[in-house]
Structure formats: structure tokens, C-alpha cells
């Protein structure tokens, strides 16, 4: 009986495996092949050469990665105190933190973006506050600014950073922290040398999710970033929806996957680095 439990599962997996290979993986292959072969551009890499030969386009790639990096850093700074609140809190505080992290995550992205449009706008409270404090001279708006976009996206992606972090903390052996306390380490030292190193796998998982989501958040980028701040997803949309240039759209999509994927891959490899993770 025990043997039967560790086998015989494969037939149950086949439908989903077929679906994922046939309808998810294969279209990605088709996209890559199409970006190389379709279109009028000469040569195998013609569509790519066309796009990357314009320095403005290269800047859009760099801006997209920069935006996602800023959002990830900001989410780390804001997410760490939330995770610590969870770690030190009792049962009620812990449940509250989990609930208050899940609710925004499960609230539509369009809804959260809408709230930020009102908050950042000319008649919004942020403008009123900064004006009252004398930080801005005339009433202005934070809409269509990079700072406003980073602020909004930080809140929107924040649950993706916090959830893996508290998932790791909830499994963390409290005796390791107690041992550090008994040895006379102060709270900051425990944070820096015990808690954060042990939580690093959670941070890395969170960074990957946050970064991925921040690069492709089309809705927030186009509405709050506006026409003056352009990122790759908007480009892809313009090529498909406005210019009907599918070969270019395919090439830009592949560039989007490669440029952001390489950052995520680097983070994933960091997670496997034996001297960084799990060495405490």
C-alpha cells in the first residue's frame, strides 16, 4: 500500500501538463520564432535591430528596469517593519497583519490605481499636505510624475513582498532568536545578524514577485505615469493595438522577458548561494 501511494499519480497530472505545455509554453516558443522570422526587417535579428538602433527605445528598456528596481527597494523598506510587526506580534496582531496584507492584494489593481489617482491628483490630500508644509510652492499635482508612480506602485506591489516574508518568519525557529538574546545581543543586532539573514529566502522570493509585477503593471504605468513616462508594456500595446505591427510587438515582448527575466534569474541564483542563505 505504501508503494502505491508514491506512484500512480502521473495520469492525474497529464491533463494539466498537456494544457501548460500546449497552451502556455508552445505560444511562447511561437512568439520567439515569430519575432525572428516575421516582418520586413532584414536578417534574423532585424526586428530587434530596428528597435534597439533607436537610443530612445533603449532608454525605455532602462527606465522600465529602473522603475521596477525603485519599487522593489521601496517595498523592501516599507515591508520590513510590517514583517517585524508580524514577527513580534501576538496571535491577534499576526492575523490582522495577514488580513490587511491579503485584502489589498485581492482588491482589483484597477481599483487601487483609481484610489491613487485621486490621492496624487491636483485636489488630492498629498498636494494639500505638501503645500501646507511649504514643500511645494504652488498647488501642483503628483500625477504623471515618476515619484508619484513609484509611490503608487510600491503600495500596489507591497503585498507580494510582505507575504513571502511573513511566510518564512512564521516557520522560523524562535529558539535561534532566544539564543541570541541570552548571549546578550541587543534587538538591532539580532535584527541585523539573525532575523534578516534567516528571512533572506523570503526577501528574495518577494523581490522576484515584486520586480516581475512592477515591470508589467500596464494599468498603473499608463494612467499614473501618463504620456511623459513610457515603459515597455505600453510600447507592446502600442505596436499591437495602434500600429498593428505584430513582428515589432513580438520582438519588444521578448526583450521585456529577457531584460526583466535576467534580473529575476540573478535573484533566484542568489537564493541558492550557500554562503548567503541558510549559513547562520
* Contact region with another protein (CB under 8 A), list: 49-57, 133-141, 152-160, 175-183: 152-160
Q: Least Å distance between CB 99 and another protein?
A: 7
Q: Tell me if 256 contacts another protein by CB under 8 A.
A: yes
> Which of 92, 106, 137, 174 contacts another protein by CB under 8 A?
106
Q: Tell me if 17 contacts another protein by CB under 8 A.
A: yes
Question: What residues between 121 and 150 interact with another protein by CB under 8 A?
Answer: 123-125
| CA gyration radius, the chain | 23
CB closer to another protein, 20 vs 58: 20
Q: Tell me if 251 contacts another protein by CB under 8 A.
A: no
CB under 8 Å to 90, separation ≥6 — which residues?
none
Question: What residues between 70 and 99 interact with another protein by CB under 8 A?
Answer: 78-79, 81-82, 84-85, 88, 91, 94-95, 97-99
> Which of 131, 218, 259, 271 contacts another protein by CB under 8 A?
218
Among the residues of the chain, which ranges form H helices? 2-5, 10-19, 26-37, 46-52, 55-88, 91-106, 109-120, 125-132, 146-171, 174-182, 187-190, 196-216, 218-220, 232-237, 246-272
* Contact region with another protein (CB under 8 A), list: 56-64, 141-149, 151-159, 174-182: 151-159
Q: Tell me if 260 contacts another protein by CB under 8 A.
A: yes
> Is the Cβ–Cβ distance between 169 and 83 less than 8 Å?
yes
> Is the Cβ–Cβ distance between 31 and 258 less than 8 Å?
no
CA 135 from chain center: how many Å? 30
Contact letters for another protein, residues 162-201 (x by CB under 8 A): xx--xx--xx--------------xxx--x----------
Contacts by 51-56, CB closer than 8 A, 24 or more apart: 51/248, 51/251, 51/252, 51/255, 52/255
Amino acid at each position: 500500500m505504501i508503494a502505491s501511494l508514491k506512484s500512480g499519480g502521473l495520469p492525474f497530472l497529464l491533463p494539466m501538463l498537456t494544457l501548460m505545455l500546449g497552451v502556455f509554453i508552445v505560444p511562447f516558443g511561437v512568439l520567439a520564432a515569430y519575432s525572428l522570422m516575421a516582418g520586413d526587417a532584414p536578417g534574423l535579428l532585424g526586428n530587434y535591430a530596428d528597435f534597439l538602433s533607436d537610443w530612445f527605445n533603449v532608454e525605455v528598456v532602462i527606465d522600465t528596469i529602473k522603475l521596477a528596481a525603485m519599487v522593489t527597494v521601496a517595498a523592501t523598506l516599507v515591508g520590513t517593519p510590517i514583517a517585524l510587526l508580524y514577527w513580534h506580534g501576538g496571535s491577534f496582531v499576526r492575523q490582522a497583519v495577514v488580513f490587511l496584507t491579503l485584502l489589498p492584494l485581492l482588491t482589483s489593481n484597477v481599483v487601487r490605481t483609481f484610489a491613487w489617482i485621486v490621492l496624487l491628483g491636483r485636489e488630492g490630500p498629498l498636494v494639500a499636505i505638501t503645500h501646507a508644509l511649504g514643500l511645494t510652492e504652488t498647488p501642483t499635482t503628483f500625477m504623471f510624475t515618476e515619484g508619484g508612480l513609484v509611490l503608487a506602485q510600491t503600495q500596489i506591489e507591497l503585498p507580494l513582498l510582505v507575504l513571502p516574508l511573513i511566510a518564512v518568519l512564521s516557520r522560523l525557529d524562535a529558539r535561534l532568536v532566544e539564543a541570541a538574546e541570552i548571549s546578550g545581543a541587543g534587538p538591532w543586532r539580532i535584527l541585523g545578524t539573525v532575523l534578516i539573514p534567516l528571512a533572506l529566502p523570503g526577501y528574495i522570493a518577494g523581490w522576484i514577485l515584486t520586480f516581475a509585477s512592477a515591470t508589467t503593471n500596464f494599468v498603473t504605468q499608463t494612467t499614473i505615469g501618463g504620456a511623459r513616462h513610457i515603459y515597455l508594456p505600453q510600447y507592446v500595446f502600442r505596436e499591437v493595438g495602434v500600429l498593428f505591427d505584430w513582428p515589432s510587438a513580438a520582438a519588444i515582448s521578448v526583450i521585456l522577458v529577457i531584460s526583466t527575466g535576467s534580473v529575476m534569474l540573478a535573484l533566484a541564483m542568489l537564493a541558492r548561494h550557500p554562503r548567503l542563505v541558510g549559513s547562520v
